[in-house]
A and B are shown apart, each in its own frame.
Chain A
Amino acid sequence: MQHGKYRFIVGFLVIPLAIYAIFVISPFVQAIYYSFTDWTGLSSDMKMVGFDNYARLFKDSVFWAAVGNSVTLLLLLPVVTLSLGLFFAFMLNVGGRRRKKAVIGGVRGSGTYKILYFFPQVLSIPIVALLFQFAYNPESGALNAFFQAIGLDSVQPDWLGDPQIALWCIMGAMIWANVGFYVVLFSAGMSSIPKDFYEAALLDGANRFNTFFRITLPLLWDTVQTGWIYMGILALDVSAFAFVQIMSVGPGGPDYSTEVLPLYVYQKTFRDGQAGYATSIGVSLLIVTLIFSAIVMRLGRRERLEF
């Protein structure tokens, strides 16, 4: 039944590919085209300027600050978020003490924790960002009030106002907002791992540490990898933009310490009327993203365990 196979496949793919080309590929091509112009975004009058925009990028210190911060987010955010998500999910599903009959189970009260962890997911990003902004308020915020209450009167950081820690503060809020989703995602993944694997391991005397690294993580690898890419994109894109835009001083400050690429694109387009230059920043964001996904896919390639 080999014959006509390709025609069959092509027949099915024509429409989706056409849609993909119109709505995904063509905006790319357009954006790349605009990145070679001096388009202002406020008038349809523009001319080609060749590689001028890209030459400017190399000299633009704010751009490099943004690249640095975006890459920091890209490297740290997925690691921390996914590790926390994995840890919590493991404790909720597998990590508990053995009880009667059940082979494996979560820690006491795991149902409640699950709801608690997932709770941030029902809040929209701006609300989370605002909540944290209030908590970080150095004058009347919860964090400094807490330090005062436990007698640490001298420790009163400016949080978002201090260039040394501002990015970490924002990252904290992003992790808080996202970790719940991965707890649920990984919980679902863990529940599809056959119980007998754990049973066998426990009979052999494996402890929690071993069960996690020998059974749970390898069998969950596909899910982790998906989460990794997803989280990485979040760190580069919409989520980073929204959190930085709402929370940070400036926004993007203090002193560009929290400037990220998508925010810089936005500022150049909507504040400075330099849409052409902004598209060239966008193209460089695209390149960073592609490199990231290529690396993740390459690193993540390993034998799939069938069960």
Chain B
Amino acid sequence: MGSTSDFSRRALIKRAAALGIVTVPAMSALSACASSGGDGGEKAEKGQKSAKNPLAVNESAALDVVIFDGGFGDKYAKDAQAEYVAAFPKTKGKVKLASTQKIQSTLQPRFNGGNPPDLVDNSGAEQMDFGTLVSKNQLADLTPLLDAPSIDDPNKKVRDTLRPGVVEMGQFGGKETWIMYYAYTVYGVWYSKTNLQKVADAEYPKTWDEMLAVCEKAKKKGVAGWTYPGKYPYYLPFSLYPFIAKIGGAEVLRKIDNLEPNAWKDPAVKAAFDAYYELYKKGYVLKGSPGLDHLQSQKAWAEGKALFIPNGSWVENESAKQIEKNPDFQLSVGAPSSLSSSDKMPFGTIWASGGEPYIVPREAKNAPGGMEMLRIMLSKKSSQNFIKQVSSLTSLNGGTEGLKLPPGLDSAQQALRTAGQNIVNPRLQDWYVALQKEKIGVGALGEMMAGRMTPDEAITKIQKYADETREDSSVKKYKR
């Protein structure tokens, strides 16, 4: 190329390169997961149905399980896998169990391609949206599992061995049960009995006045009453929502879940918000809480810088290292204190519900195998194994006999007994994730507790968010 022509080679290359740099990262991330379609091969044939094999599992078919490797780890699932192989020896070496924290990025291509695993623990930050999975018909109905006899007592169906509310949680308005929640979480106000005794010389405050008095005493000793993870303010509802239900009745929460107009304008909501806002106004909240994440706030709390923290029963496992430093910590969970004597529900009303949602994909090659694995996990043996390993309850009702429970779990058990029928289970956090976590949590509750928004402003804003979600046709709606 001996001559110079009008177009400059350098300019061309430069422009092309610039364009390339500019656009590749922006777009390739998106199309990397583009749907490929295609079928995922043959389903495994059904096996012989028998008393020992009520789900008619193919005794030599491969099984593919993907576990969320989070706060509970994956050891309990591996132990259950060993049980599965023991029950069906011909599957030895064919049972695959993968654990990951990246559920969605690992499984999305497989769901799109029609080649999903047989059992999935769909949990963690990368949880796949249940509403979408259900509405796109990607899940298998778990009714056969629920109607199968339980491992421990062949005369009882699996359905009848579960804690109340677990089956309903896995349903989405219809008869089918899409999700089996394996863990059972108790939410509430978590505290150290010892610290509370030491700082405020008090038992857990049963009324809000007592609560304020305890906080006042603590403040004088330089200890904050409350802390919460300000980076994830959706921890606040763990004690705030049952508080609302306690004041105004469970009906208020049902209306909120159903996105009914003006559900948030209920006086109970306002009363509960005012009470929490008072904690901030009187300086009972640990300074800097709005900037802490869950681990940082739990650390401050475990070190005794604050007395109370809204949390779930996983906190015992998650904060184990810090709690261990104080062997006399006596971790306990408290139900929301009574605001006044006219509260609609008694003291003890608490939020408890299933955690660790397990699903069997509709396109799974060995769906009966996936359900059988769940049936094994819901046996007393596997259940106790889980409780011992991660100090959390399972959805299996009871099963704790003869086990020495750690203090937090023990108090959670007691709280459940005290609550009796008064267990509430707000569904906002699994039905409308963005609304609950980001809009209500970060957008309003966090702002209110940081003192940048009054309870009235927060309620107006939340009501607006709820209305927007109700009118958003791209969000699937549920009713309870």
Q: What residues of chain A have their CB less than 8 Å away from a CB belonging to chain B? A: 1-2, 5, 8-9, 20, 23-24, 27-28, 30-31, 34, 38-46, 56, 133, 136-140, 144, 156, 158-163, 229-230, 233, 236-238, 248-250, 252-256, 262, 265, 267, 269-275, 277-279, 282, 285-286, 289-290, 292-293, 297
Contacts and interface: CB of A to CB of B under 8 A. Distances in A.
Interface in B228-243: 230-232
B28 to A, nearest CB: 5
Contacts of B25: 233, 237-238
A271 B436 CA distance: 12
Given A27-B30, A42-B111, A250-B442, A233 B291 contact: no
Contact size range, B = 35 or more
B26 A285 contact: yes
Contacts of B286: 139
B230 A158 contact: yes
Contacts of A285: 26
A271 B26 contact: no
B287 A139 contact: yes
A34 B34 contact: yes
Given A254-B450, A278-B30, A289-B23, A270 B138 contact: no
27 contacts: A1-B2, A24-B23, A40-B132, A44-B36, A44-B37, A44-B114, A46-B35, A136-B291, A139-B288, A139-B291, A139-B292, A139-B296, A144-B288, A156-B287, A233-B22, A249-B291, A250-B442, A254-B230, A254-B442, A254-B446, A267-B438, A269-B33, A271-B129, A271-B434, A273-B128, A273-B132, A275-B33
A34 B438 CA distance: 26
A289 B22 contact: yes
B474 A274 contact: yes
B132 A42 contact: yes
Given A139-B296, A256-B443, A161 B35 contact: no
Interface of B: 1-3, 15-16, 18-37, 104-105, 108, 111-114, 126-129, 131-133, 136-138, 230-232, 286-293, 296, 300, 305, 433-434, 437-438, 442-443, 446-447, 450, 452, 474-475
B129 A161 contact: no
B132 to A, nearest CB: 3
Given A139-B305, A233-B25, A265-B30, 5 more contacts: A30-B31, A34-B34, A44-B113, A162-B291, A255-B442
A150 B22 CA distance: 45
Contacts of B127: 271
A74 B27 CA distance: 18
Given A2-B3, A250-B438, A158 B291 contact: yes
Nearest to B109: A41
Nearest to B363: A43
Contacts of B136: 40, 42-43, 45
Contact of A44 (B35, B132, B433): B35
A229 B21 contact: yes
B1 A230 contact: no
A160 B27 contact: no
A41 B22 contact: no
Given A163-B452, A250-B442, A158 B104 contact: no
Contacts of A262: 26, 29
B34 to A, nearest CB: 5
A137 B129 contact: no
Closest 9 CB pairs of A and B: A138-B288, A161-B291, A273-B132, A161-B290, A273-B129, A43-B136, A27-B31, A253-B442, A139-B288
Nearest to A2: B3
A30 B36 CA distance: 12
B157 to A, nearest CB: 31
Given A139-B288, A162-B290, A289-B26, A270 B450 contact: no
